[in-house]
Amino acid sequence: MALIHSQVPCGALAPLFTLLFLQHHLAFSALLLSLRHHHNFLHHQRPMIHANQTNCALFTGTWVHDDSYPLYQSSNCPIIDPQFNCKMFGRPDSDYLRYRWRPLNCELPRFNGVEFLLQMKGKTMMFVGDSLGRNQWQSLICMIYSAVPQTQTQMVRGEPLSTFRFLDYGVTISFYRAPYLVEIDVIQGKRILRLEEVAGNGEIWRSADVLSFNTGHWWNHQGSLQGWDYIELGGKYYPDMDRLAAMERGLRTWANWVDTNIDRSETKVFFLGISPSHDNPNEWSSGVTTVTSRNCYGETVPISGTGTGTTYPGAYPEQMRVVDMVIRQMNNPAYILDITMLSAFRKDAHPSIYSGDLSPQQRANPDYSADCSHWCLPGLPDTWNQLFYTALFY
Across 85-114, b (16+ Cβ under 10 Å) vs e yields: bbbebebeeeebbebbbbbeeeebeebebe
Q: So what's the pLDDT on residue 315?
A: 87
Q: So what's the pLDDT on residue 66?
A: 96
Residue 279 appears among annotated catalytic residues: no
DSSP line for 185-216: EEETTEEEEETT--HHHHHHHTT-SEEEE---
The Cα 296–Cα 90 span in angstroms is: 16
Residue 43 appears among annotated catalytic residues: no
Query: Would you call the peptide bond into 239 cis, given omega within 30 degrees of 0 as the criterion?
Result: no
Q: No. of H helices and E strands in the chain? A: 11, 13
Residue 374 appears among annotated catalytic residues: yes
The Cα 83–Cα 376 span in angstroms is: 8
pLDDT string in tens for the chain (394-residue length): 333 344 344 444 544 544 443 343 333 343 444 444 444 434 333 344 444 445 788 999 999 999 999 999 999 998 999 999 999 999 999 999 999 999 988 999 999 999 999 999 999 999 999 999 999 999 999 999 999 999 999 999 999 999 999 999 999 999 999 999 999 999 999 999 999 999 788 989 999 999 999 999 999 999 999 999 999 999 999 999 999 999 999 999 999 999 999 999 999 999 999 999 999 888 887 655 455 567 899 999 999 854 456 688 888 999 999 999 999 999 999 999 999 999 999 999 999 999 998 999 999 999 999 999 999 999 999 999 999 999 999 9
Q: So what's the pLDDT on residue 45?
A: 36
Burial of 297 per CB tally in 10 Å (0-12, 13-18, 19+): buried
The Cα 8–Cα 29 span in angstroms is: 16
Q: So what's the pLDDT on residue 294?
A: 76
DSSP 8-state code for residue 96 = G
The Cα 41–Cα 38 span in angstroms is: 5
Q: Could you say which of 6, 131, 343, 355 is catalytic?
A: 131
**Residue 250, SS3 per DSSP:** helix
Q: Are 340 and 317 in contact (CB under 8 A)?
A: yes
Q: Could you say which of 130, 324, 338, 371 is catalytic?
A: 371
13-282+291-393 maps to CATH 3.40.50.1110: yes
Domain assignments of the chain as residue spans, ordered by start: 13-282+291-393
Q: So what's the pLDDT on residue 282?
A: 86
Q: Could you say which of 5, 217, 278, 374 is catalytic?
A: 374
DSSP line for 49-85: ---TTSSS-TTSEEEEE-TT--SS-GGG-TT--GGG-
